[in-house]
Amino acid sequence: MTPVDTMAELGAVAGTARLYTADEPLELVGGGRLEVVDVAYETYGTLNSTGSNALFICHALTGDAHAAGQRIGDRRPGWWDNLIGPGKAVDTDRWYVVCANILGGCRGTTGPSSINPATGQAYGLDFPLLDMADFVTVHRRLARHLGVERWAVLLGGSLGGMQVLQWALSHPDEVDNAILIASSSRLTAENIAFSAVGRQAIMRDPEFCNGRFSDAGTSPDRGLSVARMMAHITYLSEKAFSEKFGRAAQSGTLAPGFGIDFAVESYLEHQGESFLTRFDALSYLYLTRVMDYFDPFAAPDALDALRADPVKFLVMSFDSDWRFATSQSRRIVQHLEHAGLPTAFREINSPWGHDSFLLALPAYHATIQAFLDRAFDEVRG
C-alpha cells in the first residue's frame, strides 16, 4: 500500500457524467438506442487556455477510467501509471489527459449489467449490440461535456488502439495525432476463435442464466474466470511463461494429481479469480464482440475523410506479441501509408507478448515520448 495519495500531483479529477437521457438518447450504429448513458472518467493535468493540449487515452478490453495515480488504500496505481504522470512519457504537466470507461463496460459506465430504465432490471442480453463507432460517439460527447473541442493526441493499446483508429477515420478534423499500440484493424480468425471460446465459457456456465444472472441471484464466475485464464495465456508469450514459471512446482515439489500443482497453474487461477472482482461477464461478451466485427478498412471510402484532413500516426507493435502480432500493425501502416498519410511505425523488441504494452519498457516509452515531444512542439506553436 502506498502511504501517499498521488492523485493530487496529477491534478486528477474523477467523475461520472450523464451524457444521454431519455430526451436525447444515444442512437447506436446497430440501430439500438440507449436512453440513459453514464460515463465514468478521470482527467489529469490542465486544459490550456487554447484547448490545444488535450490527450485522450482509450483503454483496452478490461481497462477502466483509472489510468494513472494511486489513492490511499489502493493496492495498485492506475493501469497505465508507468506511462502517465508528471515527467513521464505522457507528461501531465504538459497534457490534459482524459480517460473514460468504455460504453458497455462495467467500471462506472453504462453497460449490459446496468439497470434498464424501462424494466428496472439489469439489461442482460437485451442490451443492444455495440460498434467501435459507438465508443467514439460517446467519447466525443464526453469531450463536449469537458469543454474539449479537439484532441491533440488519441492514444490507445489493443482494443484502445482500435478505437483510436475508428476515431481518426471518422472524425479526423477533431484529431491531430493518433498512437495505436499492439492493435489491429481486423482480427484474424485465430483472434476470433480465442474470443469465441471465452464467450462460450461464460454462456455455457449454468449460472449465466441466459444473461439474467443478476435477477436470478447467480453469477457465471466459473465461465468468466476460465475466459480470463485462457485469454491471459494469449497475452503473454511462451518465453514469458518460461521465464516467469518454467516448470516450477507451486509448493516446492510436484505432487502429481489433478489439482493446481505447477506454478503457472496457480498463476492462472489467481488471474481468473482476481478478474471476477473487477469484471462483468456480460461486458466481456459485448466488448469482445465489438472487436470481432471491427474491420474499418473494408469500406471503400474508409480513408476519404482522413485523406482530406490528415492525422499524424504512430503505430507500434511488440515482436513477441502473437495475439496482436506485428503483421496486424503493419497492415494498419500499409493502409495509412498507401493513402499518403503521415505514418510512423516501430516494432519493439520485448519478450513479454501482448502485455508488453502495459510495461515500462525503455525503448517503448522513449518512442511514445519522442512522438509526443514533437506533438507538443505543435501545441506550443
Tell the residue number behind the cell numbers 467523475, with chain if given: 15
Cell digits for 357?
Answer: 504494452
What is 331-365 written as a DSSP string?
HHHHHHHHTT--EEEEEEP-TTGGGGGGS--HHHH
- The least CB distance from residue 156 to other proteins, in Å, is 19
- The least CB distance from residue 175 to other proteins, in Å, is 16
| Distance, CA of 356 to chain centre | 14
Query: Using CA atoms, how far apart are residues 269 and 253, in angstroms rounded to an integer?
Result: 19
Q: Is the dihedral of CA 213, 218, 223, 229 positive or negative?
A: positive
**Cα angle vertex 339, ends 55, 174, to 5°?**
25
- The least CB distance from residue 208 to other proteins, in Å, is 44
- The least CB distance from residue 316 to other proteins, in Å, is 9
- The least CB distance from residue 334 to other proteins, in Å, is 6
Cβ nearer to other proteins, comparing 233 with 339? 339
Cβ nearer to other proteins, comparing 35 with 319? 319
Residues binding other proteins (CB under 8 A): 312, 314, 330, 333-334, 337-338, 340, 342-347, 363, 366-367, 370-371, 373-374, 377
Q: What is the enclosing helix (H) or strand (E) of 137?
A: helix 132-146
Other Cβ atoms closer than 10 A to 313? 24
The single residue of 52, 113, 114, 158 carrying the catalytic annotation is: 158
Phi and psi at 151, nearest 5°, equal -105, 120
- The least CB distance from residue 40 to other proteins, in Å, is 34
Query: Using CA atoms, how far apart are residues 60 and 313, in angstroms rounded to an integer?
Result: 19
- The least CB distance from residue 122 to other proteins, in Å, is 46
Tell the residue number behind the cell numbers 508528471, with chain if given: 86
Neighbouring residues of 28: CB distance < 8 A, sequence distance ≥ 6: 34, 128, 129, 130, 131, 134
Cβ nearer to other proteins, comparing 324 with 371? 371
Q: Does 93 qualify as catalytic in the annotation?
A: no
Q: DSSP alpha helices (H): ranges in 36-94?
A: none
Cβ nearer to other proteins, comparing 180 with 314? 314
Q: Does 321 qualify as catalytic in the annotation?
A: yes
Cβ nearer to other proteins, comparing 41 with 345? 345
* CB-CB contact of 339 with 307 (8 Å): yes
Q: Does 158 qualify as catalytic in the annotation?
A: yes
- Which residues face 43 on adjacent strands? 13, 98
Cα dihedral angle (101, 163, 296, 211), rounded to 10 degrees? -20
Environment class of 49 (CB within 10 Å of its CB; exposed 0-12, middle 13-18, buried 19+): exposed
The single residue of 321, 329, 355, 356 carrying the catalytic annotation is: 321
Catalytic residues: 158, 321, 354
